């Protein structure tokens, strides 16, 4: 089975680690990857186990953040388990592994979290499926599963099979 998803991997809102990605921060890195002929990035589980790929041709920025399209393989038992949890809606969080190219700190002395890290330019390294993303808006939005025979299953990522 092949599971394909679309999701918001990084948002423009501040996350639980006080980091905020500015709109457009991914554009330079994405164009560089494409210029060098790369077609995909690794899709991982919890930033360590390879699950499949993120398609650079379908990765883009929108007003809410970085939208990715990924494919989860089913070669290993762990990949099959992750596919099942994604299809059942129990694993829907997304996270990015990245290298900040240009960032600055935004002091906010009167707020509960006094310093915000603002990422202006970043190079994405990988996308991960995670149970608890740093920003709960970073998640799978659409799902499609296709059996080898061509029958398909679609979902909106909520865990119900009404797509």
pLDDT in tens, 36-95: 999 999 999 999 999 999 999 999 999 999 999 999 999 999 999 999 999 999 999 999
Residue spans of the domains in the chain: they are 2-155
Contact 144, 1 (CB under 8 A): no
| DSSP β-bridge partners for residue 154 | 144
150 or 157, which is more confident? Answer: 157
Tokens encoding 57: 């041709």
C-alpha span between 139 and 39 (Å, rounded): 22
Instruction: Give the model confidence (pLDDT) of 26-43 as tens digits.
Output: 999 999 999 999 999 999
* Model pLDDT, residue 108: 80
Task: Report which secondary-structure segment, H or E, holds 2.
Answer: strand 2-11
Q: What is the mean pLDDT of residues 141-150?
A: 80
Instruction: Give the model confidence (pLDDT) of 102-132 as tens digits.
Output: 999 988 877 777 788 999 999 999 999 999 9
DSSP letter string over 23-92? TTTTHHHHHHHHHTT--EEEEEETTTEEEEEEEGGG-EEETTEEEEEEEE--SSHHHHHHHHHHHTTS--
Contact 118, 37 (CB under 8 A): no
Note the CATH architecture for domain 2-155: Alpha-Beta Barrel (3.20)
The pLDDT confidence band at residue 157, using thresholds 50, 70 and 90, is low
């Amino acid at each position: 089975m092949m599971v394909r998803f679309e999701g918001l991997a990084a948002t423009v809102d501040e996350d639980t680690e006080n980091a905020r990605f500015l709109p457009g921060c991914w554009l330079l890195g994405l164009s560089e990857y494409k210029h060098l002929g790369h077609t995909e990035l690794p899709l991982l589980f919890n930033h360590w186990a390879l699950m499949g790929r993120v398609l650079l041709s379908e990765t883009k920025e929108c007003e809410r953040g970085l939208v990715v399209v990924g494919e989860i393989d089913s070669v290993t038992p762990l990949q099959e388990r992750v596919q099942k949890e994604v299809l059942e809606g129990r694993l829907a969080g997304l996270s990015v592994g990245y290298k900040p190219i240009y960032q600055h700190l935004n002091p906010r002395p009167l707020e509960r979290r006094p310093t915000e890290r603002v990422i202006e330019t970043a190079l994405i390294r990988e996308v991960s499926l995670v149970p608890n993303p740093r920003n709960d808006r970073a998640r799978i939005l659409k799902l499609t599963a296709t059996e080898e025979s061509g029958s398909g299953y679609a979902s909106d990522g909520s865990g119900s099979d009404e797509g």
